[in-house]
Amino acid sequence: MDTILVVNAGSSSLKFQAFEVSAPEQLTCVVKGQLDGIGTRPRLRAGKSDGQHLIDQNYDATQVKDLPAAIGTAGDWLRTLPGLNLVAVGHRVVHGGPEFDQPILLNADVVSQLERYVPLAPLHQPNNLAPIRSLLASRPGLPQVACFDTAFHRNHDALADRYAIPDQYYAEGVRRYGFHGLSYEFIAERLGVIAPQHAKARVVVAHLGSGSSMCGLRDGRSVESTMGFTALDGLPMGTRPGQLDPGVVLYLIEQKGMTAAQVQRLLYNECGLKGLSGLSNDVRELQTSSDPKASFALDYFAYHVGMHAGMLAAALGGIDAFVFTAGVGENSPTMRARIVKRMDWLGAEIDTAANANAAPKISTPNSRVALYVVPTNEELMIARHTLGLLAKGR
């Protein structure tokens, strides 16, 4: 069967899904897996869409010491599966800069252009590009497509797109990009199925996970996002601080003598929930901890989600619906309840039983804001874009 492979590469994990192309526009996930613990405790797990396990194997750290090795290991295993005729690979690429506002067929020149945005997404961009380079070298005739997390936000009004800095910097690409666009694009489409009455309304979507952001949608299009030039902005996250006075960075450099590299490591790896709690960046661990700092970190997170909900409501001219998605948004009833409590001034009321069961709609009948829990699927969005680009090229 013709298959599109979707790859989402991170610093310590490689996630992948294989989609069967069963009709011109029909995609069915047949294999889903990931290789995590790269360089420390590598483990490859994968299964079929029906839940059947295919592999759960641990490796020595020296066997899968880095991302290229992980790509080779996962690729070798995928080639053992019968009946998969790989026709293309779709990749999540976090930063597309000002040039790339739609999926694009990859070649060496495009990869070279995308390397320019490594400083804007140092945790993500190098890892996103690694499997692309590997496949360009090993299978140069295999079509590869890049799908960008920034692309969904590229039609923002100039008022939302600009910083209040001289024009020359905007011309150089210093602007508010927004991220998690593949997730928001999927949610915008999905609302048309599960909540058609709100698909074209004023909707705030909260993508809450290790990396977190929020997006204001109107008529299914991005109007405003909490993230800006980089994925450091907006909400506090697992290890990133979110909104931060730039004067703090100047203080760290001028008064504390920190180098740019040290500041970068601090802001990307040591802040957020991890920095506030001093314990962990994992919401699950913080929720089970009796340490007051853990509770404070979670309250801080909920407070800022509620505050940014108000900001996005102002940008949209009101709010009709609010959507929880991603790891924390989909799986933590406690955090959803904490956050909705911060939005009671908007008229949001949560249905406790529906929330506990992660029902698609978790608001009460009297709530002035409809509340939804919608699982995201960035991989399916990438597969759709890849298939669409292949169809155009035929």
> Can you say whether the dihedral through the CA atoms of 342, 346, 352, 354 is positive or negative?
negative
Q: What are phi and psi of 42, to 5 degrees?
A: -60, 135
Output Rg (C-alpha) for the chain, integer angstroms.
21
Q: Taking the alpha carbons of 349, 353, 355, 360 in that order, is the dihedral positive or negative?
A: negative
Rounded distance between C-alpha atoms, residue 44 and residue 261, angstroms: 32
- Please say whether the beta carbons of 238 and 210 come within 8 A: yes
Catalytic residues: 149
CA-CA-CA-CA torsion sign (200, 203, 207, 213): positive
Residue 114's nearest CA partner among 135, 90, 92 is 92
| Cα–Cα distance measured from residue 394 to residue 384, given in angstroms and rounded to the nearest whole number | 16
Q: How far is the CA of 388 from the CAs of 90, 107, 329, 385, 391, in angstroms?
A: 11, 18, 29, 5, 5
Nearest to 149 by CA among 185, 110, 114: 185
Q: How far apart are CA 145 and CA 147, in angstroms?
A: 7
What are the structure tokens assigned to 223, written together?
């109007």
